[in-house]
């Protein structure tokens, strides 16, 4: 028998189930992450439940980070290739029994684990968040690695996979040391990448990069211009900026949508930068089945009540104060934390008449006000949040890292 070929009897089907299961999980979720990276607004219901609309605070921030892409491609694309290669290599190994193929699976698995630890370190220690979809691929890598390591332990030294060990007890300390070294990279990777990838600086953009940015904006603007104008007239909406401005933005947002919280900050900065050139009107679009009949599954429990709280704060002249408070403390409202007593306390802390506020919260007129915005959004083609309209045209989705650059150009062009 060729020393690089082994007999069927040496194969443990459970180990190979682990390898293939982990790799297939990696393939599937890497594909989902690629789609999410390219177009967060096109995410399906499963992704929305995992991440929130567009992306949750974890998925969204990771998707916008310095390590979200490599060589111009989403990092998930490279993961997709690696996991797919593991599946094919394992299949060829099972067919040929060539030991070198299993060695390739081993090194690919360790490489994947190393990259995952670096990415996890960056996410936890620098971004201070977790991407749930990413974690599923990390678990796939762990399962894959366990399978190949367990299978390796069965091999004899003549195959060149491992030195001869007298017992599993003797090899265990070595494996623990290896895993300890890998996981020690978690804080080191986060610290180093935090220094190596500071916030991007606009000054001194390379001319070639400038051309790419210019072309990307022109494509964005052309897509905006193709959109049909829709009627967004209806109940009076909270507004900031210049009501007589030539350029009016209408923002549909959900109070529990993490991207909406990011956009809220950006829109506030825009109004401060262009106080005379633009206006921003706010419309409610809670992704909550309790008031949004278009939701097939529950996504943001409590968003309807928070939207109503904004309406009621507006009745006392403090819509934007409630708006900013909810987004600033967004995480404290998640996981069923939205209750009337807590809303009352928030209203009181903002200087509102709590009794009047609570009466408003129980009013059918308040519910009708939120429903009116929802109906308007549905007719206008809103399917997720945040969604922006400019002078009646729906704006294409815009990733947060491009927001300042594109919106400043957009405003200068549309408001002149």
pLDDT 10s digits, 199-236: 344 444 567 777 888 888 999 999 999 999 999 988 88
Residue 202 lies in a domain: no
- Kindly report the CATH number assigned to the domain that includes residue 334: 3.40.30.10
Q: Which helix (H) or strand (E) holds 37?
A: helix 13-38
Looking at the fold, whether 153 and 270 belong to one and the same domain comes out as: no
CA 13 to chain centre: 36
pLDDT 10s digits, 265-318: 899 999 999 999 999 999 999 999 999 988 888 888 999 999 999 999 999 999
Residue 2 lies in a domain: no
Count of domains in the chain?
A: 2
Residue 201 lies in a domain: no
Q: What is each CA distance from 133 to 22, 52, 153, 300, 359, in whole angstroms?
A: 14, 11, 31, 18, 41
Nearest Cα to 359, choosing from 347, 351, 370?
A: 347
Looking at the fold, whether 365 and 398 belong to one and the same domain comes out as: yes
What is the C-alpha to C-alpha distance for residues 136 and 22, in angstroms, rounded to an integer?
10
| DSSP character string of 75-103 | HHHHHHHHHHHHHHHHHHHHHH-BHHHHH
Residue 205 is given by DSSP the state -
Residue 3 lies in a domain: no
Q: What pLDDT was estimated at residue 373?
A: 96
Looking at the fold, whether 272 and 156 belong to one and the same domain comes out as: no
Q: What is each CA distance from 367 to 181, 292, 330, in whole angstroms?
A: 56, 11, 21
Instruction: Please enumerate in sequence order all residues whose Cβ is within 8 A of that of 28, keeping only pairs 6 or more positions apart, or say none.
Output: none
- Domain C-terminal end among 164, 196, 228: 196
Looking at the fold, whether 223 and 256 belong to one and the same domain comes out as: yes
Looking at the fold, whether 160 and 288 belong to one and the same domain comes out as: no
Looking at the fold, whether 50 and 162 belong to one and the same domain comes out as: yes
Number of C-beta neighbours around residue 400 at 10 A: 16
What is the C-alpha to C-alpha distance for residues 315 and 301, in angstroms, rounded to an integer?
24
Looking at the fold, whether 267 and 172 belong to one and the same domain comes out as: no
- Domain C-terminal end among 196, 231, 260: 196
Q: What pLDDT was estimated at residue 235?
A: 83
Tokens of 94: 């099972």
Residue 75 lies in a domain: yes
Q: Which domain holds residue 97?
A: 8-196
Tokens of 73: 């491609």
Looking at the fold, whether 214 and 185 belong to one and the same domain comes out as: no
Phi-psi category of 73—alpha, beta or left, where left has phi over 0 and alpha has psi -120 to 50?
beta
Q: What pLDDT was estimated at residue 38?
A: 67
Residue 56 lies in a domain: yes
- Kindly report the CATH number assigned to the domain that includes residue 152: 1.20.1440.130
Looking at the fold, whether 163 and 211 belong to one and the same domain comes out as: no
Residue 1 lies in a domain: no
The list of the chain residues with pLDDT below 70 reads 1-10, 36, 38-58, 60-61, 63-66, 126-128, 155-206, 335
Looking at the fold, whether 353 and 259 belong to one and the same domain comes out as: yes
Nearest Cα to 63, choosing from 85, 92, 34?
A: 34
Q: What pLDDT was estimated at residue 190?
A: 43
What is the C-alpha to C-alpha distance for residues 127 and 65, in angstroms, rounded to an integer?
8
Q: What pLDDT was estimated at residue 10?
A: 61
Rounded-to-10 torsion of CA 173, 174, 177, 183? -110
Residue 238 lies in a domain: yes
Nearest Cα to 193, choosing from 262, 285, 127?
A: 127
- Domain C-terminal end among 145, 162, 196: 196
Indicate the SS3 state at residue 166: coil
Looking at the fold, whether 182 and 247 belong to one and the same domain comes out as: no
Looking at the fold, whether 190 and 211 belong to one and the same domain comes out as: no
């Amino acid at each position: 028998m060729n020393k690089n070929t082994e007999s069927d009897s040496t194969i443990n089907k459970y180990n190979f189930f682990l390898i293939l299961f982990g790799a297939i999980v990696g393939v599937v979720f890497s594909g989902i992450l690629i789609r999410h990276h390219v177009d967060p607004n096109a995410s399906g219901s499963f992704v929305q439940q995992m991440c929130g609309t567009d992306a949750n605070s974890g998925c969204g921030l990771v998707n916008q980070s310095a390590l979200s892409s490599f060589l111009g491609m989403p990092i998930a694309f490279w993961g997709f290739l690696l996991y797919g290669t593991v599946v094919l290599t394992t299949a060829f190994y099972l067919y040929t029994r060539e030991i070198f193929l299993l060695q390739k699976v081993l090194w690919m698995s360790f490489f994947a684990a190393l990259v995952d630890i670096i990415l996890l370190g960056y996410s936890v220690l620098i971004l201070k968040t977790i991407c749930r979809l990413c974690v599923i691929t990390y678990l796939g890598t762990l399962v894959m690695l366990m399978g190949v390591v367990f299978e390796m332990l069965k091999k004899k030294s003549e195959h060149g996979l491992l030195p001869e060990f007298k017992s599993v007890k003797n090899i265990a300390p070595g494996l623990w040391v290896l895993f300890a070294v890998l996981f020690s990279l978690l804080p080191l990777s986060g610290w180093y990448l935090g220094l190596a990838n500071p916030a991007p600086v606009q000054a001194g953009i390379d001319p070639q990069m400038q051309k790419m940015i210019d072309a990307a904006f022109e494509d964005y603007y052309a897509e905006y211009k193709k959109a049909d104008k829709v009627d967004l007239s209806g109940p009076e909406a909270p507004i900031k900026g210049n009501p007589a401005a030539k350029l009016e933005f209408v923002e549909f947002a959900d109070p529990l949508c993490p991207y909406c919280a990011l956009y809220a900050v950006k829109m506030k900065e825009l109004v401060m930068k262009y106080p005379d050139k633009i206006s921003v009107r706010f419309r409610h679009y809670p992704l909550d089945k309790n008031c949004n009949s278009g939701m097939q599954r529950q996504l943001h429990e409590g968003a309807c009540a928070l939207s109503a709280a904004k309406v009621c704060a507006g009745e006392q002249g403090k819509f934007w104060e409630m708006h900013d408070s909810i987004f600033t403390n967004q995480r404290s409202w998640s996981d069923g934390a939205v209750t009337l007593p807590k809303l009352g306390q928030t209203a009181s802390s903002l200087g509102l008449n709590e009794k009047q506020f609570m009466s408003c919260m129980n009013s059918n007129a308040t519910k009708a006000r939120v429903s009116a915005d929802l109906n308007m959004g549905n007719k206008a083609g809103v399917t997720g949040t945040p969604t922006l309209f400019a002078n009646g045209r729906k704006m294409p989705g815009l990733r947060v890292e491009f927001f300042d650059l594109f919106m400043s150009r957009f405003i200068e062009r549309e408001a002149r």
